[in-house]
Structure 1
Amino acid sequence: MFTNAFKSILFFSPALVCTITFAQVDKNNDKNGNSKVVTDSIKLDTIIPVKEKIEFIVDRESDDERHDLKKRTSYFLRNSRVTYGDMSIYADYIELNWNTGDVYAEGKRDSIGQITEQTKFVQGNQEFFQDAFKVNFKTKVGIAYNVRMTEGEGVIIADKVKRVNDSVMYLHRADYTTDTYFKDGKTKDPDFVLRASPGKLLDNGDQKVLITGPINMRIYDIPTPLVAPFSYIPLGSKRSAGILMPRPGERSDLGFFVEGIGFYLPVGEYFDIKMTGDIYTKGSWGLRTESTYKKNYKFSGRFAANFEKRISGIKGLTTGNNAYNKNDLFGVSWSHQQDPKSNPYTQFNANVNFSSSKYYQNSISTQYIENNQVYTNNINSSITLNKKFRDSPFSATLSMGHSQLLTQPTSQIISDSNNNITLTAPRLNVNMTRIYPFAPKAGAKKGLIQNLGLDYTLQAANEIRTNDTDIFTKKMWDEQSRLGASHRVNLSTAVTLANYFPLSLTSTYNETWSDQKILRTYNPINQRTIDTRIKGFSAYRTFNINASISTNIYGTFINSNKNAKIQGIRHVISPNIGFSYNPNFQDPSWGYYSKYQKDNTSLVVPLGQDKEDVWYNQFEQALYGTSIPQLTNSLNFGVLTNLELKVKDDSDPKGYKKVKIFESLRFSSSYNFSAESFKLSPISMSGTTTFMDRKVNVQFGGQFNPYKLEFEPGKNAGKYIDELVMPRLTNFQIGTGYSFDNSTFGGKKFEPKNYKKRGEIRDENFYFDDENYAHFAIPWSLNASLNYTYNKGTLREANHTGSIMLNGSVQPSPFWNINVSTNYDFVDNKITMLNLGLERDLRSFRMSFNWVPMGRYKYYGFMIALKSSMLSDLKYNDRSRTRF
């Protein structure tokens, strides 16, 4: 019955079209209502035709041409071209009727009548290829057969195309593909097509749209179950609104899901919005909003806001892996970049990343596992406005900042009480670059006075330290905020003594402003101190004087034996010595320190000494400069050394190469004459060196304490006493890394020129030898890094941490890529992270597989999708997380 009804519709559709067509001729009636439509009974030669004006000159060329003056028709044969206005036709045969403006073109045929070379129709910057077509130059209406049109990223192939005007074309049995090999003409068979019939192509300038009826994806001309009742495919460069396809799947902790369902909406020329949602059968859901904007030569940016309701576990259970949890998670990000060329004196940039503290670890979206963001320990934000003042040494920066510590949860129970959030809003920095007020306007500066330089820095901010519970509450504004400013003025000058000893003199003045001081009292009941914040403006000022002198001592050794392996040694020692002076700003006369009385009732003390005065810094909770220096008469000293060898090397054009034992090795310390005890500071050490022809860089550093350490029985931590002994290593760090690839070990380089034959189409990356064996370079890379930390301090046993990070990839064939990343803790002898990935280039498709087989975030994900950005929603995802 359905078949008969469908046949009836097809049978009567021409009559329906004719009825609609003739129903529209009412506009041709005269004033009396009489029809002006000419009937068949009127002879055609009795009507005087209106002569149409020729708008353009017809230009043509061909190998041969013939003209029929009686029919007013021209015939152009072989390698023919006809141009009229912005339209050009290239074909083997072209027939042009000068009366009607009809043009018929046909491609080149072989001996059996098959088309071997298609015609080409060009209008503006558009090209159309077809076997044959007919078009009218005047009305621009035409019809074509076996048409091929390149539109944006893809190609449209249609059995029959009817051109109504410049902006509308009807298509019969149309295929659309984004296969780049087919688009570039490397193959005649696309690997996939979207086949539809009928179709309509709308062209509104920069906006092109293909609208079709039922459409089916065919892979290598095999139909697939992917069928849609209609399609709307934007082809132009202009953005188009549309529905975003969802991704179904299943997760053991959250149930079956549909992710990413939503819509895309362009708003104006510079702005768009994408809104998506995630739904899970166990109750979890999420909403995501993303917007991008861009104005050329001005600015660009992206904003995203996510909210999730995460529900996991079994309702009623409070403990165990299946304990019921219900949490609200959110994340906000914003990035804004101003084009530096838009304004060289004013710059505004933003990079905001703010979220709930467990957002990345507990998000219902698996994207954070794929890109390893689940291991994020902290996030930061900044919004800055920089201003440079023309012809002035001053510059200013107004900014807002955010820093958030993301603690790694140890169980499914989520706790935010220990998280630390720091907000700085606003922060003002003003800088004055160094000026030389006594320097001559021309010529070099001489002497201490002419080299006297002055620079100034102002820092002012409002800082808030809070957590997820107190953020944006009254407690945050009243109790957790600090306001302060810091002024810093530096004076410096320098001169060289006896041509070998550079002398520098510096002095620094600091002034700190604060909105609070503290009043500290002692509670004898619980034997604890109580700090009371005293709001109000307060300030303190400090200054210091420094002097330093240095020189370089060179030592060289040249081997007289020209055949010796070590031709020479070069050693550079750069000692430096200096002096620093600070007044005793902890003295009560300056007014920066105050005192409270503490009870000594727990100690056996003489009568009348049961009270003790304890001095404290009133500004120790101020925003800037909380440490107020005491009296310092310090002698600072250190040495920087560099050692390198000149080694004979016959492979080097120079006959030798330089090998650096130490790029740098520095030791430094100081001695404070005014200190009552521990006058000598710990000795700091740092250095860098290289291996493998300076390809491997090693950085290391540590600290040595020269004082005796005593331990009490049964305690793991000791106490230093003021007695100098052999320096003891208290901490040490070392780090290095290297990147390996095909050229690391000097293997035979792959040379394509050694092969006479090369593959075609998908095998163009293969080269074949005389025995027809394929050869390929097989590129690979491995990035390795090592970090080790030794920290002993005052402990009996040192703490060690050490890890090796490996990231590698290899291409066993041109279209396969294998990725591996892992982190091995060689102190605890365990693998802390392992991620395996496979990628396959499937011509128009891409396939990937990611697997995390161990750890808290066990996971696998499989995806196959079209490469084309226009058809990126046509993909298949299979994701699973075995345990959260």
Structure 2
Amino acid sequence: MKYKVKYKIIVIIFLLIWDFTKSQSQDSIAGNNPSKAILDTVATDTIPQRNGFLDVIESTSDEQYQNAKERFTLLLRNAVVTYTDLKIEADYIKMMWDSGNIYAIGKKDSTGKIVEPSIFTQNGKKVEYNSFVYNVKTKKGKAFNVRTEESMGGDQGVVVAEIVRQYSDSVSGMKNVAYTTDEYFISKKDSVADYHLQTRVAKLIQGETRRVVTGPIVMKIYNVTTPLVLPFSYLPLGTDRSTGLLMPSFGERESVGFYIEGAGIYLPLGDYMDLSLTGDIYTKGSYGLHAVSQYKKRYKFLGNFRLDWEKRVTGIKGLPSYSTGKIYRVYWSHSQDTKANPNFRFAANVNFSSSKYYRNSINNLNSLNGDILTNTTSSSISLNKTWPGTPFSASMTLRHSQQMNASRDQANPVTLNLPQFTLNMNRIYPFAPRTGTKKGLFQNLNFSYNFNLSNTIYTNDEDFFSKKMFDNMKNGAEHVININTGTTIFNYFPLNFSAGYREVWSLKSLRRYYDNAQNKVIDEEVNGFNTFRVFNISTNTQTTLYGQLNFGTNEDNKLIKAIRHVITPSVGFSFTPDFSKDFWGYYSNYIDKEGNEIMYSRFSNGIYGGPSRGLSQSLNFSLDNNLELKVRSRNDSTSVKKIKIFDYLNINASYNFASDSMKLSPISMRGATRILDNKMTLNYGATINPYRMIVNNANPNGLLVNQIGGFTISNYNFNTSYSIGNSTFGERKMDFDRRGRVRQDVYYFDKNDYAQFLMPWNVNFGITHNVSRTGAGKTRKSTSLNLNGTISPTPYWRISANTNFDLQTGKVSYTTINFNRDLRSFNINFSMVPFGQYKTWNFFVGIKANFLSDALKYEERNFNTNLSDF
């Protein structure tokens, strides 16, 4: 039977006159007090008691005894004591009325071993002990064999200490302390942690920021001491950030010598930002510096910044193989939370580097992740503004694009937009009714407007930020107005009309002439405001036709039940004037060295190009097709299923009535078909030339003549991809009753005690085939096969690989292989590029815990030395 007593002031008076015989019975129990060895280790009352010890205390237990003579209360079995924000749970609790000491011991077995710890909870923090004594007046105490869960660096872990002394409400000392993030030890599935950090002494400081200061720390793996020792540590608890040293990796490579990489320091900068500063040093003279920062403010923004600067020295000075060079990279990413301001957004994605960065970085893991094949990089910084309740929006963007890895004697092109401004007006219907559907051409009439202003620089990495770079600056503005309307005729034919107007402003125009002295054509830029205006009109209509041919009913035994064909024809007409006419004044002429008059556009060097040349009166037509079969199901003779011959097959062409010859354009076709129960898709396309081509000695490359009838395929292509895995050939079930324990719980065991495991695997392959033909009958082909897959031969092993094979040349291009082993709290990873120009490997052992991932690791690398010089 459980007793529950709430002690008030009146209860204290009652206890003073408690039956003497009952107190004598409790004297015998107190004489066997197992906590007597630690009674004298806690200081007596040194802080004046305000309202008395027992005025706000509650307790429950299976048995409860009071001793008025010696003034203590004894609680036995399932004992619980609550005092202010403090809660104690134990098998044995003794409370001293006058001194304020509380003694607690966990449950013991017949041999005296603690089998259930006592639990101390304060401010929501739970701590397990074998035994402890605590003084509620002085806030001091002492505990033995302590275990509590703590969050360090955002990772959940367990702290175990042999002895803990609480000196005050905010300071505790610990002796023989161990910390681990082993999830099996945390969940008590295993009594031995796979690793732990151990220190002889530590101090826990409470407050707004809970933190631990320790003496020397040594790392142990399965209780085996390792050489990894830190002289001290300072760790904030319950946070995802802590100041500390970043441990380096070591190794040796032929091209740069012995090295230390990644040594540095981690610094939290306020509440929203951090900074990592690391360096690399190599015995042959190379070195690198790296700065990485992350920042985040909840519901506002987040981002990260990285700066890499390296000096690479390869070879031995004085020998032909010796080379030096400096490379750098700046990366910045910023995104704004949509909740911060939905009508104004700022975003950035900057990736700017020297042209040889991805290829020649000293710390070159780019080979393993494929970045070494990077050919272009781009950056953008944008501001976007919308005005609620209006159709208007605006954006301001800074852009950068750069080609990488040009040949040694060429510069890498760089394009900059500084800036690009855009003002948009979404489509509006000025004559549409406020409610109901729009009817007729007038109500469906709509307008949209777009204004672009751009300042563009075309340069290269050698001229970057030089005067020559700014001399190549081009700028201009563009207005675009689109007008659309439509209606439906005869209930089946939607008819659309559209017109477009485009006006371009430029501060420069082109003057072209032939210079006899230099014997070449000269392009000269003429300063001054210039503008041109172009427009076009078009109309189109389409409909959908359905056709079905039935071969029987669902009840008969025929395999094919029906064929269904859906055709969507579309016909349109567009008109664009010839803006090269003298009437418009957009084109000029010059005389070449042969005396021929050559026409050119005065706006052809502008960033928006020049007006089109030639009259266009084109009839555009397309035909979209969908064909499918309805067949008898193999599994159920009474049911049917649909099989698509092709998901779509589109045919497009145009006929220009205003053209002098070859009015019919090449016919393009593209389509897609799904096979193997819709698990594999074939995409295909082709271009057909409708005109005849003559190939002779005078025209070895072929000459098209204005005569329809050739209909030769000038190019075609197809690609497909398919994925197979362990579920492709039917699922396997684990019909076994017994499973393993601890790390073996992922296995089932059969009656012969063999482990059974559903080994997951997956293989993806893709084929791309392109063929193009010239007029002389020459054919260029390219066929590539890409393979990638993963397999887990055991639950904690994962092997993955990726390769690309050129079927035309029979060569393997880029291949990567990765091996990963999960060791509970550790990961082992081995990655390699086994052959080719970028042959390399990397071996890494690291702890999973985020705040220890940089400090506790081993990494070794080997890189191919045959990289291009700077």
**Secondary structure, aligned partner of 1:762:** helix
Alpha-carbon distance in structure 1 between the residues aligned to 2:724 and 2:478: 48
Higher mean displacement: 364-373 or 61-70: 364-373
Question: Deviation at 1:534?
Answer: 1.2
* Distance change in 2, residues 1:715/1:117 (3 Å): farther
In structure 2, the residue matched to 1:811 is 792
Q: Shift in Å at residue 210 of structure 1?
A: 4.0
Q: Conserved in 1, the CA contact under 8 Å of 2:202 and 2:212?
A: no
Give the aligned partner of residue 383 of structure 1: 381
Q: Which moved more, 1:722-731 or 1:93-102?
A: 722-731
Structure 1 CA distance for aligned equivalents of residues 222 and 808 of structure 2: 54
Matched with 2:219 is: 217
What corresponds to 2:231 in structure 1? 229
Q: TM-score scaled by structure 2?
A: 0.90
Partners in 2 of 1:825 and 1:430 — Cα distance?
47
Residue aligning to 2:451: 458
Three-state SS of the structure 2 residue aligned to 1:589 is coil
**Equivalent residue runs for 1:779-798 within 5 Å:** 779-794=760-775, 796-798=777-779
Alignment match of 1:765 (pick from 746, 749, 759): 746
Match among 188, 199, 212 for residue 185 of structure 1: 188
Moved more, 704-713 or 842-851: 704-713
Q: Paired residue for 2:125?
A: 126
Q: 1:256-278, CA deviations, whole angstroms, 9 ceiling, x for partnerless residues?
A: 11111111111111111111111
Match of 2:847 in 1: 866
- Could you tell me which residue of structure 2 aligns to residue 574 of structure 1? 568
Establish whether residue 876 from structure 1 lines up as the match of residue 837 from structure 2: no
Partner of 2:87: 88
Q: SS of 1:369's equivalent?
A: helix
Deviation at 1:877, TM superposition (A): 0.6
Equivalent position to 2:658, from 674, 695, 703: 674
SS at match of 1:688: strand
Seen in structure 2, the aligned counterparts of structure 1 residues 266 and 816 have a Cα distance that, compared at 3 Å, is: same
Q: 1:181 corresponds to which letter in structure 2? A: Y
Q: Does 1:661 align with 2:663?
A: no
Are residue 700 (structure 1) and residue 684 (structure 2) matched?
Answer: yes
2:24 paired residue number: none
Cα distance between partner residues in 1 of 2:814 and 2:636: 43
Distance in 2 between residues matched to 1:49 and 1:627, nearest whole Å: 92
1-structure distance, mates of 2:629, 2:590: 63
Aligned residue type for 1:100: S
1:748 counterpart = 2:731: yes
* Structure 2 residue matching 1:870: 3-state secondary structure: helix
Q: Residue 271 of structure 2 aligns to which amino acid in structure 1?
A: E
Contact 1:200 1:212 in 2 (8 A): no
Partner residue, 2:38:
none
Partner secondary structure for residue 305 of structure 1: strand
Distance 1:868 1:654, change over 3 A: farther
Q: Which amino acid aligns with 2:81?
A: V
Q: In structure 2, what is the equivalent of residue 393 of structure 1?
A: 391
Instruction: Answer yes or no: is the 8 Å Cα contact 2:512–2:522 preserved in 1.
Output: yes
Could you say which residue in structure 1 is the equivalent of 2:72?
A: 73
Shift of the alpha carbon at 1:424? 0.9
Gaps of 5+ in 1: 1-46, 601-610
Say which SS state the counterpart of residue 79 (structure 2) adopts.
Answer: strand
845-854 or 526-535, which moves further after superposition?
526-535
Q: Aligned equivalents of 2:579 and 2:453: distance in 1?
A: 23
Any idea what SS the aligned residue of 1:204 has?
coil
Q: Give the residue type in structure 2 aligned to 1:486.
A: E
Counterpart Cα distance in 2 of 1:238 and 1:820: 34
- State which of 308, 325, 328 in structure 2 corresponds to 1:327: 325
Alpha-carbon shift at residue 48 of structure 1 (Å): 14
2:743 counterpart SS class? helix
Instruction: Give secondary structure in 2 for the equivalent of 1:813.
Output: coil
1:207 and 2:223 are equivalent in the alignment: no
Q: Aligned letter for 2:789?
A: G
Query: 1:193, 1:217 within 8 Å by CA — same for their partners in 2?
Result: yes
Q: Cα offset for 1:308?
A: 1.1
- Look up the SS of the partner of 1:449 in the other structure: helix
Residues in 1 aligned to 2:314 and 2:693: alpha-carbon distance in whole angstroms: 53
Normalized against structure 1, the TM-score is what? 0.89
State the AA in 1 paired with 2:247: M
Deviation at 1:147, TM superposition (A): 1.1
The 1-side partners of 2:628 and 2:820 are apart by: 46
Partners in 1 of 2:226 and 2:617 — Cα distance?
85
CA contact (8 A) 1:244 1:261 kept: yes
* 2:171 alignment counterpart: 168
1:366 aligns with 2:364: yes
Q: How does 1:147-546 map to 2 (within 5 A)?
A: 147-152=146-151, 153-213=156-216, 215-237=217-239, 239-318=241-320, 323-407=321-405, 414-415=408-409, 417-478=410-471, 480-525=472-517, 527-546=519-538
Query: CA 1:731 to 1:407, structure 2 compared with 1: closer, same or farther past 3 Å?
Result: farther
Asked which structure has the greater RCO (Cα within 8 Å, sep 6+), the reply is: 2
Q: Is the 8 A contact 1:716 1:796 kept in 2?
A: no
- Cα pair distance change 1:421/1:207, threshold 3 Å: farther
Partner SS for 2:358: helix
Q: Does the 8 A contact of 1:483 with 1:514 survive in 2?
A: yes
| Per-residue deviation, residues 463-503 of structure 1 (Å, max 9, x unmatched) | 1111101111111112x211112111111111222122222
Residue range with higher mean Cα deviation, 805-814 or 688-697: 688-697
RMSD: 2.0
Displacement, 1:821? 0.8
**1:739 equivalent in structure 2:** 723
- The reply to whether residue 630 of structure 1 matches residue 608 of structure 2 is no
Query: What is the distance in 2 between the residues matched to 1:252 and 1:627?
Result: 59
- Are the counterparts in 1 of residues 209 and 237 from structure 2 also a CA contact under 8 Å? no
Counting matched residue pairs gives 814
Q: Once structures 1 and 2 are overlaid, which stretch shifts more, 183-192 or 704-713? A: 704-713
Per the alignment, residue 14 of structure 1 pairs with: none
**CA deviation profile, 1:272-297 (whole Å, cap 9, x unmatched):** 11111111111111111111111111
Structure 1 CA distance for aligned equivalents of residues 48 and 394 of structure 2:
75
Asked if the contact 1:209–1:236 (Cα under 8 Å) also holds between the matched residues in 2, the reply is no
Question: What's the offset of the Cα at 1:794?
Answer: 4.2
**Deviation per residue, 1:380-428 (Å, 9 max, x gap):** 111222211111111112111111112365xxxx45x331111111111
Partners of 2:714 and 2:773 within 8 A in 1: yes
Per-residue deviation, 1:725: 3.2
Q: Return closer, same or farther for 1:597/1:71 CA change in 2, 3 Å cut-off.
A: same
Quick one: which amino acid aligns to residue 665 of structure 1? Answer: L
Q: Kindly tell me: are residues 465 and 560 of structure 1, through their superposed partners in 2, closer, same or farther at Cα, counting changes over 3 Å? A: same
Distance in 1, matches of 2:243 and 2:775, equals: 66
Query: How far off is 1:511 after superposition?
Result: 0.7
Q: Partners of 1:653 and 1:109 in 2: how far apart?
A: 70
Secondary structure of 1:493 counterpart: strand
Cα distance change, pair 309–868 in 1 and its aligned pair in 2 (3 A): same
Q: Measure, in 1, the Cα distance between the counterparts of 2:360 and 2:429.
A: 57
Alignment pair present for 1:690 and 2:674: yes
CA shift in 2, pair 1:571/1:149, >3 Å: same
Give 1:776 shift. 1.0
| Percentage of pairs with the same residue | 42
* Distance in 1 between residues matched to 2:380 and 2:469, nearest whole Å: 20
- Shift in CA distance, 356/585, structure 1 to aligned 2, threshold 3 Å: same
What CA distance in whole angstroms lies between the structure 1 residues aligned with 2:133 and 2:117? Answer: 14
* CA-to-aligned-CA distance 1:669-712 (integer Å, 9 cap, x gap): 11112112222211111112211222222222221222333446
Q: CA 1:740 to 1:759, structure 2 compared with 1: closer, same or farther past 3 Å?
A: same
Q: For residues 835-876 of structure 1, what are the alpha-carbon distances to aligned partners after superposition, in whole Å with 9 as ceiling and x for unaligned?
A: 111111111111111121111111111111111112112011
Matched-pair contact (CA < 8 Å) for 2:274–2:295: yes
Matching residue of 2:107? 108
Query: Which structure 2 segments of 5+ residues have no match?
Result: 1-44
Matched, 1:592 2:586: yes
- The AA in structure 2 aligned to 1:633 is Q
Shift of 1:720: 2.9
CA distance in 2, matches of 1:49, 1:750: 67
Q: Which amino acid aligns with 2:588?
A: S
Quote the offset at 1:51 in angstroms: 5.5
Deviations 1:185-224 (A, max 9, x none): 11111112222212222333443224123x3222222222
